[in-house]
Amino acid sequence: MGYKQCNGDHTIFYRHLQDRVTILAVYVDDIIITGDDTEEIALLKERLSKEFEIKDLGLLKYFLGIEVARSDKGIVLSQRKYVLDLLTEAGMLGCRVAPTPIEQNHKLCSESGKPVDKRRYQRLVGRLIYLCHTRPDITYAVSIVSRYMHDPRTEHWEATLRILRYLKGSPGKGLWFKAHGSTGVEGYCDADWASSLDDRRSTSGYCVFVGGNLVSWRSKKQAVVARSTAEAEYRAMALSLCEMIWIKRLLVELHLFKRAPMKLWCDSKAAINIANNPVQHDRTKHIEIDRFFIKEHIDMKSLELSYIKSGEQLADFLTKGLGSKEWNNICNKMGMIDIYRPS
């Protein structure tokens, strides 16, 4: 029996039996059982029913606000009901639709406007944070408005309402998972240098794919001020690598990882050169731990760093606001679809 603790409430147990895997995910009193061993799953259900009072709801359709739709083409995860309930609570069901969740080249800062109701703002942003579990397209916008939860202003509130207006146009949009015949780990990382107007810290963004399906993404302001674009990109690269290693270890434990190097795409040639060329390391003492960390995995041939043009960088939407054309293009490449939209 294997064991993995994800957080305080969410626990995953997994068991290997003759190269087969059974997974039991527990969140408080909600349980998901999955795997490729039907006999083991039936036995596990029987044992659980003897120890606890449980109810088998059949194939997974709804879990913690996440809706699961299946077809021969794959599985779609969405939070349509959650979005509609959120719009209803905020009185935004009849609002005008926004093409993107945040304005391109926005100038939000801590002094943007007059103070607003903090409690109402925090409740709305908190619900949007949970929605990010299936909506990577709003992750950057939510990360921006969540920075001001301690002292929200009118422009912050307007930016939050814009996210709702964007959701109104596609409440059923979700992630599409389909079989591509591989379980390779591939990541994209990006950084927007000195983007925060409050403290000039950069924003890191990454997204990780397993077998061509998006499984992890993040948009986060860096903990320290970067003195150059290359430094900001390098820190984003290290953050992405940490997530990819965690996913790789999980796949190894589940006997799903094939021995092949992970691939990380970056649009900064300077950051890639620093990672590959030890001669330049004396110029990067301020990011010494990150450079040793990345170089170690390159030397072990467990990581391949590759350059990608900025126009093809999928992590772009996790570090900055984009135009509607670029936004829709990236969402399509991320595997986001709306099965509820009329064809």
| Predicted pLDDT at 23 | 85
CA dist 244 and 217 (Å) reads: 11
Amino acid at 115: P
Give 136's contacts (C-beta < 8 A, 6+ positions apart).
175, 207, 214, 217, 317, 318, 334, 336
| Chain-centroid distance, C-alpha 100 | 18
Alpha helices in 170-266 (DSSP H): 229-253
Portion of the chain with pLDDT greater than 70, in percent: 90
Once rounded to an integer, what is the mean pLDDT over residues 201-222? 94
| Predicted pLDDT at 295 | 80
Give 311's contacts (C-beta < 8 A, 6+ positions apart).
none
Relative to beta strand 2-5, strand 30-35 is unpaired
| Chain-centroid distance, C-alpha 318 | 9
pLDDT at residue 246 greater than cutoff 60: yes
More confident residue, 299 or 189: 189
Domain boundaries, the chain: 2-58, 78-173, 181-308
pLDDT at residue 153 greater than cutoff 80: yes
| Predicted pLDDT at 256 | 80
pLDDT digit string (tens) for 14-45?
A: 565 556 778 888 888 888 888 888 888 888 88
CATH superfamily of 181-308: Ribonuclease H-like superfamily/Ribonuclease H (3.30.420.10)
| Predicted pLDDT at 18 | 55
Structure tokens at 83: 């979005």
- Contact yes or no for 176/336 (Cβ under 8 A): yes
Confidence of residue 158 (pLDDT cuts 50, 70, 90): very high
pTM for the model: 0.88
